[in-house]
Structure formats: structure tokens, C-alpha cells
Structure 1
Amino acid sequence: MPSPLYTELPVPEVVVEAICSLALCFGWFRFVVVALIGFYGIMRSVEPLVATREDVVLPSDMFSSCTGKLFVRINNPKTAKRGNARVQHGSVCSESVEAVVGPLHRTERLWPFSQSAYRRRFDKLLSLVGAAKNYYTPGGLRGGGAVRDFVINGDIANLMWKMRITSQSTLAYYLQEVVTEQSLLRLPDSSRDILKLLARIFPALRLVAIASLKAGCAKPLVQVLFSSE
């Protein structure tokens, strides 16, 4: 019996880091921002796609020297219909988000294209690592983020607050199902090797992207890294 909380396969962190590495190489910085917010903010797939610049509270917006965390306001969340707050928020730790989002106009969306365009890019990146179409989906980012948080922290009450849900039994049922999910083992060996390599270089690529964006050079990283200039 599938959990009522999710139907998509949770996306592991190594997959998120791998596809974000590829996206940075292509210069898809907005894609990376939305994917990171969706995963680490444990958000429903549509929430970061419709968020605007003014929905994001960056450390620089508060004149704070703390660069570790930012907040994303979620307007008209799904759980508002169940008596919860009509405006909620999620928090994300990522300096790379600030580098991309900071310069945007306050009414500009984090993802300026359609939801289908985001899905096409998501599928494209997965195909490049050898994963079958629809094996992982953007809807699985929330589940993957939830599993990661539980494995690291083991605190269901805190996880419920981060996910903005009220049913502990539903979340517990879901975690019992998917914490031991071995989706990576069902991928070909070559795909797993590619994922591990791309995930390993993601921190370095992220630093290069941040530096290039701060320098006003929003080019695909393949051009930045291999430029003859």
C-alpha cells in the first residue's frame, strides 16, 4: 500500500548533487536554485517554481553576516485548507542560492519558465547519467529531502515542522517504507559511477559558479573552466 504522503520515488542526495553539477556546466543556474530549494527545503515540487524574489529572505536582505541559511515564503500552501497558516516558510542552507537569487527583481520568479520546461530539463539531466525516464521525478525531491533529514537528525517532530505537516503517523508510515529504499542499486553500474563522480565534484563546481556569478560572468561552467582567455 503506497504512502498517502508521496507517490514518487525519493530522490537521493547524490542524485541531486549530480544533476546540479551537470546543470551548472550547462549554465542552468535557475534550475540548480529550484532543485536545491525543493530538496533541502523539503518543499512540494511546485512551491519553489512559483516563488518570487520577494518570497526569499536572504541573509543580505537582513544585513546579516550569517551566510548559512535563507528562508522561502510559501503563499497559499496546500495545508492551509486543513487549518494551518495561510503563509508558511521553508529554510535552506545554500550560499549558491544567494548568488543567483540576490540580483533578481523582487517580482521575478525564481524559475522564469514553465513547469513543463523544468521537468524537461530534469529528465534531460537524468538521461545523461543513464537513469530511465520517470525513474526519478521532481516530485521525489521532497521525499528525498525528508529521508535525508531523518537519517541525519532522527527527529520526527522537527521534520514535521520543516515539512509543514501535522500528521506524525502519516510521516512515520512513509519513513518506515522508504528509509531503506535502495533505488540507487537498481541503476546500472555505469550510472552509479557517473553519479558518484558528479556528486563528488559538485562542491567545487558550486564554488566556481558562485565566484563567476559574483564577478558578473553568468556563463555555463564549461565555458568558464575551459576558456582560453
Structure 2
Amino acid sequence: MSTPLVELAGITKLYDSGPSAFAALKGVDLSIPRGRFVAVMGPSGSGKSTTMNIIGCLDRPSAGEYFLEGEAMVSLTNDERALIRRRAIGFIFQGFNLLARTNAARNVELPLLYRGDPKPARRKAALEALALVGLEQWWDHTPAELSGGQQQRVAIARALVTNPRLLLADEPTGNLDSARSQEIMEILVRLNRERGITIVMVTHEPEMAAYADLVVHFADGLIARIEDRR
């Protein structure tokens, strides 16, 4: 059996200490095979966003182990974790997080700039990523010249430009109307099915979770149940 892309074992996350300590996660075990589209659901405070931050190497657990492609993440230094984020993980946020005065191509290039890639390679990769989301002809437009759906597509292209093996999406349709939400979800499904990218998406919306083939429900810092829809 192949190694899971993501494996969490006994993950606990405590905030503060002593009488005021709060356990956001209380011993989470989760295995995500390569190539799955995972929706993570649960009420506010259930632990889903904390789990996402740990999977994305943005936070460390208080206890437990996290393995990405079989490599232990918890013991890595901050610089090593930053390198993992740059090379293996793409991030999509609810708020787009685009630079307002910068055109689409340059916004998409940013992860490659931080990685130190040369300018010609950055531009070529950015245009290819924009083509994947159907915006190659809009490369020179700033966010103000794009619709909300187009801005989120630029954000997806930015997440894809490093060729990540894991794509983390935090409420990617939260700021969009139903038509644009469907458009974004169809792009994510296509990336998952055609390019084999593993996607983990936090959502409050059952309609968006319906696009996933694995749904993880959180409650009170634990996984309450998992639906495998394959």
C-alpha cells in the first residue's frame, strides 16, 4: 500500500497554559491518500482551521506527529518548513490576497520570486498557470479590473505555479455568488481529476462539500465522522 500524502497521528493543539488552557485539537488521527479531494467541515471552533494550519506547516501541534509524503514535519526548523510550503503546498484563501496594484501575471509569479527563480522562468510558469484557469488573456489586468471569480482564479493560479502536490483551500468560495462558486469548484475538481493534485478544502457549505470525494466532519477538537464518497 502506498504511503498516504498526509498522515496525522494523535495531533493535539493547546493554546495558553494552566487553568486558561484551551485544547483546539484533542488527539486527531487522519490519513489522506494521494489524489483525493477532501472537504473539511464543522462548526466554528471545532478544530478544522487549526488542523488546516498544521497540515500547511503554518503552525505546530502541541503533541502528536504529522507526516507529509512519509517525512516527519513536526521536528523541522522554521526554515525547513518554509521550504516545504514553497515547494510542496499551494494555498487558496477566502480573501484572494492579491496585490492591488500588480497585474495578474506578477501576482501569480510571487511564490517563484520568493523561491529565487529567474525572471523568464517565472513569467513562463505564471502564464501557464493562468492558462490552466482560463485567464491567459487577462494576464496584464490588475485585481480592480477583474471580477471576484476572476480574482479567485488568479489566486488559484498563484497556488498552482509551484506545481504543488497538495492544495489547501480555506473557504475558497466564501466571497463569491453561487454562479462564481460553481465555476471555482469545477476548476478545483478538474485540477484534482486531471492533474492528480490532492486538495483539502475547509468549507461551511454542504453544496461545496458535495464536490469532494472524502468529507471529514470535525466537532469539539476531534473528527466526528468521515464520509468516503468513492
Please report the TM-score for the alignment, with normalisation by the length of structure 1.
0.29
Greater helix content = 1
Please report the TM-score for the alignment, with normalisation by the length of structure 2.
0.29
